[in-house]
Structure 1
Amino acid sequence: MKNVWDDFTLSTFVAGLIAVLVGYTSSAVIVFQAAAAAGASSAEASSWLGILCVSMGILTVVLSLKYKSPVMFAWSTPGAALLIGSLRGELLSDIIGAFVFSSLLVLLSGVTGFFERVMKKIPVGIASAMLAGILLHFALDVFTSMKTHMLLVMSMFIVYAVGKRFFARFNIVIVLCIGMMVAWLQGLMNFTPIEFGLMKPVFTTPTLNWQVLFSIGLPLFVVTMTSQNMTGLAVMKANHYKPEVSKLITYSGLTNLLVAPFGGYALNLSALTAAICMGPEADPDPKKRYTAAISSGLIYIPVGLFSGAVVGVFNAFPKELVMAIAGLALMGTINNGLLSAVTHEEDREAAMITFFVTASGVMLFGISSAFWGLVAGSLASFIFKFKKVTHGH
């Protein structure tokens, strides 16, 4: 265990903290909205969020330790959005049954190895372009957020630029501290009374309703695999980590199956927050970045256990501070993604198609642009290479 502690650094811990801050502040409210759309009580909604945080924290810590790679899990934000848009007064027990059904399908995808075979066919350049496309809006948010709070965001940006030159190792740590200090001096920190109390898991016995299984469970499975697991694995691939794909999908499906009756609607590999822990800002040494993932997992567990109290703490930060720190923490990852996308000449044009489609944010059939970017880029790559082969003959 000693070598693990040796790999922990202040920068990896802060990367983990920022990943939690960004993940929680950007989408926790969507999970609450999904629970409300399902007709869940406030206790049940708290159970949904708490059980998701605890289970993804445990999965992240255990598997990052096991593989010595940053293996990060998250709840499915597109999955929650799907629930908000699709639920029309179905029984809560039927909805929970659909969560169980979706988890079983994920588990089956992992056990059979089907998903891994699909992922192996995606070139690294296309995966890197997709990653850059997903993260582009975070970088743009740094500058658009200057419209509302120029002094706060500009001071963070200047410290970031100076830090890249003089204190690169602790740059994001210092940027975060400066941002908090400026926000506090400007009276932008919005502290509310904090309610302490352990989250109480609420068990709902699943019931099987075929209509709900196919109208909710099946789309939830498709969105989880395409918008989340596929992009999560592409992020790992783009950062040159080689995960055991089928095993990771199996672990997530099995855990999801256990927590589904408590409101754990979809657990999957993280893409956006994982990029924060896999980039050069987390640690210059890629072999130490797994400790950033472990840090995020160790923070997520108490966040889940005391979800009510943590909401108050995270809500204290102005949204511009969160947008700016996320964008600045991801700058290096976006740079690397774009560089990798254009490195291999034979995949360059297909990679740029992937980047543009993904960055466009287009959504078709409830599936995010990241998936369609991969599809468009892979199809373009196949056509370009097929043309070369036929011309060769």
Structure 2
Amino acid sequence: MIRQLSIPAVYMGLLAAFVGYSASFAIVLAGMKAMGATDGQAATGLFFATLGMGICSIWLPAVTRIPAAVAWSTPGAAFLAATVMLPGGFSEAVGAMICCAGLIVLTGLIPSLGRIVAAIPKPIANALLAGVLLKLCLAPALALGTIPVLVLPVLVAWVIGLAWNRLAAMPFAVIAFLAVLYFTVDGSGGAVQSSTAWLPAFDPVAPLFTVRAFFSIALPLYLVTMAGQNIPGFAVLELNGYTVDRQPLIRKTGFVSLLIAPFGSVPVNMSAITAAMMAGEDAGRDPSTRYWAAITSGLVYVALACAAAAVTSLAGLAPSALITAVAGLALVPALVGSVSAAFNNTAQLEAPAMTFLIAASGMTLFGVSGAFWGVIAGALIWAAKARRSSAGLTVRHKRCGHHRCVN
């Protein structure tokens, strides 16, 4: 195994870990804060989320010998950031995250659950993801109108990175964010922990389980994690020629998600973006050795987990609008991709449009969030239009007298 270690694999693993972490840590923090987490609870959640994806990124590639990249659920964190806090606060959100992880484990144990998720029309799933992401993606524009001096350097750095290489956009933005903090924000206040406080204080959370939280948080979080991360992640590996046994990977990531969820952590899942980096030729000419790139990224994630308290404290120095602006910039590519995929079927535009609008609205009905109702409404409209189109086609065939009529 050690003999298969190569410099290109190590390099791509380091790069993937840097890109993956810098592009989404602000989203994870924003999601936990929106759910009512204190700074200590957010630091604890960030620690376990980073540790979870680090452990999985070491474990799964070592077992499967494929570059099975693992990340935290970025769409899931974005969903939490855009959702109204539950009456039970962070405790109720933690209960919902435990239920979500349980659903992922069940999907790994019961293949039919995975088939049900896969049966959701792709435009509907993408419209749900787009609706979930929209509110956070508006944050950079809103912040530009309120704190332009702080946001403009980050936005310019993001554009420069994007023009050079799309993978460089968020690292450039994070570097600019740190520069803005250094030059403009007073760090002498109480928001900053001791410089020696790298690990969080592991602030415990007593979970609260409610039916409302299951339908408002757990079920939509499960759907966006499966449709927005796991399914694309498997597809990337398969497109690069790797044979993927999906069920064991879902079980393992679900099991780790279940272990870390009581600490306020979002689920971990298969990654698409970093998998594309580590499954390609840049990670080595021999496909059978590229799994070392994923293992390397996992080791880096474990090390980064130990800086969770420092990262949370550093983020605490910035205005909340600046943090959400950075998080929103990271999600722009995902929003563009999901919107494009949601409306690529001209025969079925109303169903994804309704899913998108309801999910993005922030509405609640009977205490259940719009993400759930958006999927229900979109699926009903999709089925009704599909049935009507099928009935119309049958009538035209009968009028023509045979089934091959194409008029």
TM-score by length of 2: 0.68
CA positional deviation for 1:179: 3.2
Quote how far apart the aligned CAs of 1:163 are: 4.3
Task: Give the SS at the match of 2:267.
Answer: strand
CA RMSD of aligned residues (A): 4.8
Q: Could you tell which deviates more after superposition, 303-312 or 168-177?
A: 303-312
- Corresponding letter in the other structure for 2:381: A
Give me the whole-angstrom Cα distance separating, in 2, the residues matched to 1:20 and 1:294: 20
- Distance (Å, rounded) in 2 between the aligned partners of 1:169 and 1:203: 36
Other-structure match for 2:142: 144
- Superimposed CA distance per residue, residues 198-223 of structure 1 (whole angstroms, 9 cap, x where no aligned partner): 5687999x9xxxxx9xx826666555
Q: Does 1:24 align with 2:33?
A: no
Are residues 294 and 339 of structure 1, via their aligned partners in 2, closer, same or farther at CA, if it must alter by over 3 Å? farther
Greater shift in the superposed pair: 350-359 or 186-195: 186-195
Q: How does 1:151-170 map to 2 (within 5 A)?
A: 151-166=149-164, 168=166, 170=168
Offset, 1:173: 2.4
Counterpart in the other structure of 2:401: none
| 1:173/1:323 CA distance change after superposition, 3 Å | same
Provide the rounded CA distance (Å) in 2 between the counterparts of 1:372 and 1:198.
39
Task: Tell me: CA distance 1:249–1:84, structure 2 relative to 1, closer, same or farther (3 Å).
Answer: farther
Give the one of 213, 230, 252 matched to 2:223: 230
Q: Match of 2:349, as an amino acid?
A: R
Greater Rg by CA: 2
On the 8 A contact 1:73/1:269 being kept in 2, the answer is yes
Q: 1:216 aligns with which of 209, 215, 220?
A: 209
| Percent of paired sites with the same residue | 22
Question: Is the contact between residue 109 and residue 115 of structure 1 (CA under 8 Å) also seen in structure 2?
Answer: yes
Instruction: Provide the rounded CA distance (Å) in 2 between the counterparts of 1:286 and 1:359.
Output: 38
Instruction: Find the aligned partners of 1:360 and 1:293 in 2 and give their Cα distance.
Output: 38
Determine if contact 1:101/1:217 at 8 Å carries over to the other structure: no
- State the partner residue of 2:404: none
What is the match of residue 72 of structure 1?
71
Q: Does 1:84 align with 2:109?
A: no
Aligned to 2:351: 350
Kept in 2: contact 1:130–1:370 (CA 8 A) = yes
Aligned to 2:174: 176
Q: CA deviation at 1:234?
A: 1.4
Inter-partner Cα distance in structure 2 for 1:13 and 1:168: 14
1:138-190 per-residue CA deviation (whole Å, 9 max, x = no partner) reads 22110101133112212332343344445555333223323332342223567
2:56 is the counterpart of 1:59: yes
Distance 2:125 2:292 in 1: 23
Task: Name 2:380's counterpart in structure 1.
Answer: 379
Q: Which residue of 1 aligns with 2:18?
A: 13
Structure 1 residues 121, 52: CA separation in 2 closer, same or farther (over 3 Å shift)? Answer: same
- Change in Cα spacing, 1:8 to 1:51, as seen in structure 2 (3 Å) is closer
Deviations 1:87-112 (A, max 9, x none): 79xxxxxxx99998886665344312
Displacement of 1:380 in angstroms is 1.4
Q: Read off the aligned partner of 1:326 and give its amino acid letter.
A: A
SS at match of 2:226: helix
Aligned letter for 2:9? V
Q: How does 1:182-197 map to 2 (within 5 A)?
A: 182-187=180-185, 192=192, 193-196=194-197
CA distance in 1, matches of 2:171, 2:90: 41
Runs of 5+ consecutive residues of structure 1 not aligned to the other structure? 36-41, 89-95, 207-211
